Chains A and B, each alone.
Chain A
Amino acid sequence: MDTCAISEITILPGHDKQGRPEKFDSLVIRPGDTLSIVGPTGSGKTALINDIEVFAQNDTATGRTVLVNGRVPPEEYIRDPSMKPVALITQNTKCLADLTVEAFLTMHVKARKLQDPGIVRETIDLANQFTGEQIQPSCRITALSGGQTRSLMVADAILVSNAPLILLDEVENAGIFREKVIRVLKEHCKSVIFVTHDPLVSLLSDRRVVMRNGAVEKILEPKGKERQVLEMVERMDVTLCMFRERIRAGELLVEKGFPA
């Protein structure tokens, strides 16, 4: 089955840590959707994306079921990892290979049996849109900064893995342009789910899934109601980014007023 043929992924409710049923009917994710999963530590955020990653069929601790195009997904989606239409990048995910960026991507392209010779270059160019520190093809993977590595992994998941659904578990750190990532993911018609504590990422997402005690507590769809706050947070983010760059450049920041 062609993974491009995924028109929706549906999450059906399970239960909380005490076994009480979750209070939502279903959560449907379509191409280009952005969702944030928020909630305190231990509220079950990672368990929810793990359910999606393994296409749970009421056989994980949460009792949830995940459908593809409204049906139980074909078994090879789950059994054959190379068919899996999901890429998961977590805060623990590292690139271990001691190779140049170019060799690393070439190796992945070969494993994926892709024929497009320009894809390595494209992936590096895309990663460079996500990070302020330019990645060169000749850089060694192990010498990249955290932001560069994250940017490369996201670009690689979009272009090389070509996964329709990308799960990002707490990958907010400085050095990756989150707005740009979200825009590009939408352009490529990818669905993306963020597990996040970051106000900007949460506000930029179409929907917010609020977790508590192992269960989905509610699903918020602001539909523009948060626009003012989002604009303010975006301005703050721009300011912070600017200060960060100036600190890096060795400046002393002594201005009196703030461009709020």
Chain B
Amino acid sequence: MKLIVIAGPPSAGKTAVARQIIRHFLGKKRVAFLKIDVVRAFEDEELRAEFGIPARKVYSGDLCPDHTGIMVLADALSWAEENGAEIFIVESAGLCLRCSPYTTQSLGIVVLSAVSGMNSPLKMGPMISLADIAVITKTDLVSQSEKEVFRERTKEVAPHVEIIETNAIQGTGLRYLMRAIEQTDEIEDPGTITLRGIPPLGVCTICVGKQEIGWQKHSGVVRKLEGADDLFRGD
């Protein structure tokens, strides 16, 4: 079984890309799908109804969705295996841009929307830099110049990442994504899969629900406004 992890900010077109992948492999490979979200998600129902594939979702509720994703992934792999999946697509909620749900032994796809503003790639950390492929969607809606600038900014963040531009609703230009999936190695040993990046620190009183603002009220990893800049080092 191959593992495909799709991340990206909300409404970038993650599900549209997943849908194109499923459509492409329909009848050739058995695909299973898992959506991780916070409050509500409909992708699993939609994709099950549309393609008749095993699909399910997990809600993280009060917990960070990427945290949830990491916790359930090992069980989810067993579930996909039991359902005879040859390709297992995991779609993250994609919220805080600090997390990167990509694992070893998988193909990591970040989905970015060209209409999200030219600086948006610069605002994302490991979600882009640890991905294998950046699929830039909605390129039909922006001018040639903005498309080109967006592309350069993405390369600035992740020089190695392969960029694929598409109108994901139509599925134009996705042939190399499909080829990359075909060339992705199968999972060798689910027991040895690890995250590609180090998860963010979650070790303070904010994480556990203390609501006061200001560092004086908190303990753990805290900083004043002055000197807070070096808090994030990233991968």
Contact = CB atoms under 8 A, between A and B. Distances in A.
B162 interface: yes
Task: Say which size band chain B's interface belongs to.
Answer: 20 to 34
Interface string B144-165: 1111110110000000001101
A82 B151 contact: yes
A92 B148 contact: no
Mostly helix, strand, loop or mixed at chain B's interface?
helix
B168 to A, nearest CB: 13
A95 interface: yes
B221 to A, nearest CB: 36
Nearest to B165: A81
Given A82-B148, A82-B152, A157-B144, 4 more contacts: A80-B163, A88-B140, A96-B115, A96-B146
Contacts of B151: 81-82, 111
Interface stretch (B32-40, B86-94, B170-178): B170-178
B142 interface: yes
A170 to B, nearest CB: 12
A247 to B, nearest CB: 29
Nearest to B144: A87
20 contacts: A50-B172, A54-B172, A54-B173, A79-B162, A80-B163, A88-B140, A88-B144, A89-B144, A92-B141, A93-B144, A95-B142, A96-B143, A97-B118, A97-B146, A104-B145, A107-B149, A108-B149, A156-B145, A157-B144, A161-B148
A50 B145 contact: no
Interface of B: 115, 117-118, 140-149, 151-152, 162-163, 165, 170, 172-173, 175-176
B143 A95 contact: yes
Interface in A175-211: none
B176 A79 contact: yes
Contact of A81 (B142, B143, B163, B170): B163
A213 B152 CA distance: 39
